[in-house]
Structure 1
Amino acid sequence: MSRITARRKITRLTVGSRTLAGEDLLAVEEPLEIRVNGRRLAVTMRTPGNDIDLAAGFLVSEGVITTGDGFNTARYCAGAVDGVNTYNVLDVTLGPGVAPPAPSLERSLLTTSSCGLCGKESIDAVRTKSAFVIADDPVRVDAESLTTFPEQLRAGQNVFEKTGGIHAAGLFDAATGDLLVLREDVGRHNAVDKVIGWAVKENRLPLTGTVLMVSSRASFELTQKALMAGIPVLAAVSAPSSLAAEFAAEVGMTLVGFLRGDSMVIYAGGDRIVDRADAASAAVA
């Protein structure tokens, strides 16, 4: 299998101090070609590991599958260098009766680790229609519990601990505050797809009653991926984009940004966030 981290010779320089030679550990970034029934669908830059989760989540994000039954098998193929499999080509077989991706869905460009929408042929194609209606999800999230999610996410970031250069996404149970799954990748959209792909294999779609926590900003692509998996709440340690906030309000998603320490900024769907301490103070008054 491919490496997740790689060592590189470096020079550490501190202005006014001595320059030192050494080594640093970096997060690996390599291409993954995703094929469906033998036909290339997309190429994305990712950190190797949980590639099957990534492919399954990508297919959910693109509206190809909506349940675990839609994902049949996946196997590494081709991509050999000097007779050694590079594990950078993954061929997925869809479940019985699942229609293959439309030709218009095929990405003509490389999807970089910073952009999960690269290669979309038009603006309309970006707004993929979801099979799930999250606006009807009655989930409520305790604000105090929500503030613990970033630290839980950080504590589980093993590759980030070694490299300092990788994103993470975690799926939490909104009722209990338990971390259900965590995935890391150089691409924030890949980390989310890996989380969604885990849910596909566990046959847990739609992900009602859950919170998706990301270690990055909340972009439009992440809100869209959450919608496609039926996730009602998206929380980020950094800011959302304007389009992400607009889209979240449009589809009935709760969007939280700047979730740090004991504070947060709610950009959409604030009725789902319950501050019990504030409610208690109001009752006393």
Structure 2
Amino acid sequence: MKSRPGPTTRARIRELSGSVARDRRDDLATEEPLEIRLTAPDGARKTVAITMRTPGHDFELAAGFLHGEGLVGPGDIGAIAYCTDEDLPPEARYNTVTVRLRGPIPDLPALDRHFLTSSACGVCGSASLDALRDRCRAVPRGRLELTPEILYGLPDALRGAQGVFGKTGGLHAAGLFSATGRLVGVREDVGRHNAVDKLVGWAALAGRLPLAEHVLMVSGRASYEIMQKALAAGIPAVCAVSAPSSLAVELAREFGMTLVGFLRGERCNVYAGRDRIRSTE
């Protein structure tokens, strides 16, 4: 039987440096598929997603994905486990998660198709802002207030918590921070959207949603699906090391979110929600 996959995989490589070549071992970020299945008390079951991910925190990934897409809320989940169905080959069992619902599988239009996603891009997001308007409301103004100094400290704090990235150099990260810049949680994955799902799933399973007084920091760009997942979790502010997309900015402005991009060193661009950021001058 295939052993349970881990977040890193060892590989033999040849390293070239100038005219010198040497063979050595290297750590790679593991990338394997994860199938997410729903089951109901009446015996019904349905596959709702197959995503390429880095193994680890798989139950959180499933819960976060289902919540972010508006398919299943945390209160609807009875249990999450690796699948032991007889139709599944033993080597695939740690790549299949079964989410046991307390009630029937919801009859949602989104379930008429499977979400086939890759780690490279988040094609799992809703097709448009119109779909998002049907299930999400604007983020309340709340008490979250940030300073430039707090923002400037987020990238280094996130990078310092990326344990697997330190070994492989090949993972994205999503970090959840308090209003004072304290790191609350961090998750890593080969996929940007998976890292956010793992983080939101952790909060959902712990009963911490909505995350109304927190900041999400991502190691890559801010795309539509990242903003969608943050909005569904009630996160009012999202910061990214790289650029946002046009649809991400549109979403942030419509739903009252703060969006910061190109957050590097002591500079950044504020694309939406500048009222949550106050100057210390």
Same fold, TM-score > 0.5, yes or no: yes
- CA shift, 1:76, in A, is 0.8
Stretches of structure 2 lacking an aligned partner (at least 5 in a row)? 40-44
Identity %: 50
Measure, in 2, the Cα distance between the counterparts of 1:101 and 1:191: 27
Is 2:198 the counterpart of 1:191?
no
Residue number in structure 2 paired with 1:273:
277
| TM-aligned CA distance change 1:100 to 1:139, over 3 Å | same
SS of residue paired to 2:164: helix
The match for 2:42 is: none
Q: Provide the rounded CA distance (Å) in 2 between the counterparts of 1:156 and 1:221.
A: 23
The 1:136–1:65 alpha-carbon spacing in structure 2 relative to 1, beyond 3 Å, is farther
Q: Which residue of 1 aligns with 2:229?
A: 225
Map of 1:147 onto structure 2 = 152
Change in Cα spacing, 1:268 to 1:123, as seen in structure 2 (3 Å) is closer
Checking the alignment, whether the CA contact within 8 Å between 1:211 and 1:231 is kept in structure 2 is: yes
When residues 7 and 102 of structure 1 are mapped into structure 2, their CA distance, relative to the original with a 3 A threshold, is: same
**Deviates further, 256-265 or 189-198:** 256-265
**Cα offset, 1:171, TM superposition:** 0.6
Match of 1:243 in 2: 247
CA contact (8 A) 1:111 1:119 kept: no
Q: SS of the residue aligned with 1:147?
A: helix
- 34-43 vs 187-196, which moves further: 34-43
- Residue number in structure 2 paired with 1:105: 111
CA contact under 8 A between 2:50 and 2:114: conserved in structure 1? Answer: no
Q: What does residue 18 of structure 1 align with?
A: 20
Q: Deviations over 1:46-97 (max 9, x none)?
A: 000000100110011111234x32222111114854x45540111102245x
**1:89 maps to 2:89:** no
Alignment of 1:66-215 (within 5 A): 66=73, 68-77=74-83, 78=85, 81=89, 83-84=90-91, 86-96=93-103, 100=106, 102-108=108-114, 110-118=116-124, 123=128, 127=132, 129-174=134-179, 176-215=180-219
**Aligned residues between the structures:** 271
TM-score when normalising by structure 2: 0.89
For the structure 1 residues 88 and 64, does the alpha-carbon distance in structure 2 shift closer, same or farther, using more than 3 Å as the test? Answer: same
Distance in structure 1 (CA, Å) of the matches to 2:79 and 2:120: 28
Candidates 253, 259, 275, aligned match of 1:255? 259
Q: Which range moves more in the overlay, 189-198 or 138-147?
A: 138-147
Q: Secondary structure at the match of 1:207?
A: coil
RMSD: 2.2
The TM-score normalised by the length of structure 1 is 0.88
Secondary structure in structure 1 of the residue aligned to 2:117:
coil
